[in-house]
Amino acid sequence: MSDHKTHVLVTGGAGFIGSNFVRYALAHHSDWHVTTLDALTYAGRRDTLHDVLYHPRHTFVHGNIMDAAVVAPLVAAAQIIVHFAAETHVDRSIRSAAAFLQTDVIGTFVLLDAARHNSSLQRFVQISTDEVYGSIASGASRETDALMPRNPYAASKAGADRLAYSYWATYGVPVIVTRASNNYGPYQFPEKLIPLFITHAIDGDSVPLYGDGLNIRDWLHVDDHCRAIDLLIARGHNGEIYNIGGGNEITNLDLTHRILAALSLPVSFIRPVADRLGHDRRYAVDTTKLRALGWQPERVFAAGLAATVDWYVREQWWWRSLIVENMTT
């Protein structure tokens, strides 16, 4: 790797948001060399990086963020770290929380502890989530609001979020924390709501909608998320938290109707199922702080959702192999 390049370490870069950020970074920064570190667990795979895996400014490392021997030299060589790697699926955290505590908290600790010895580090972006605020009935969560996570996944992310901040406050690690709303777009593992419902509907299967379907989420296209992270690397302030939201609040029921309509399928495809334990009713974030730096979402939700549906229709090679692999593990 050339010494004239800015070395960027992306953890979890073979997952959904991470892989989209790797593509974005390579396309928009000709002076960046991107190293992806990924454990290749069920939701991360090399195929997700198929078009950039052998890019001349990209290096892939198969390894776990909890392995200090793997992490240390990668962190030491980086000027920028963007930390996506995490266990992220709420349902899995409810069934078994241990892996979430290990990856999300201990893994983040290993990265941060290596980062505090790197005097050349310019940014450590801790990717958190709006779920750390818990459910809110009205208004929008601000960065200064209390954290009230209501499931093991959200609690593990809140722990990592605050641990990252502590490494700025204590050791001066140049940490920025981002809390984004629900992402959607290409390469999302088909256990999350949008790709799950799209792939089920493509195969003519019913879509399992939790409870009354009136839970509200704000949807952010992954491209807009990547743009926000890029801006914060350049213009954010160390030790600060930034909410990232798409401004697209809709109920899960409305979202399901839109997905079925995009595939020309009737609402009779909806199959109500028992609600998730502790299912948060509504998330929403105030993005005033980020917008003051010059960011705003560019992807219109209706068009972004239609493009996402089209992507899953076209790229069945990607998600069908994932489903088969996970049925056999």
Active site residue 184: no
Question: Which residue among the candidates 104, 131, 218, 224 is catalytic per the annotation?
Answer: 131
Residue-wise burial string across 152-176, b where 16 or more C-beta atoms lie within 10 A, e elsewhere: bbbbbbbbbbebbbebbeeeebbbb
> Residue 85 in contact with residue 57, Cβ under 8 Å?
no
Q: Which is the catalytic residue, given 153, 167, 187, 242? A: 153
End-to-end CA distance of the chain: 37
The verdict on whether 104 is a catalytic residue reads no
Long-range contact set of residues 147-150: C-beta below 8 Å, sequence gap at least 24: 150/278, 150/280
Taking the alpha carbons of 209, 215, 218, 222 in that order, is the dihedral positive or negative?
Answer: negative
Asked if residues 45 and 16 have their Cβ atoms less than 8 Å apart, the reply is no
Annotated catalytic residue: which of 38, 87, 104, 130?
A: 130
Amino acid residing at 180 = A
Whether 249 is a known active-site residue: answer no
> How many whole angstroms separate alpha carbon 17 and alpha carbon 324?
22
Catalytic site positions: 130-131, 153
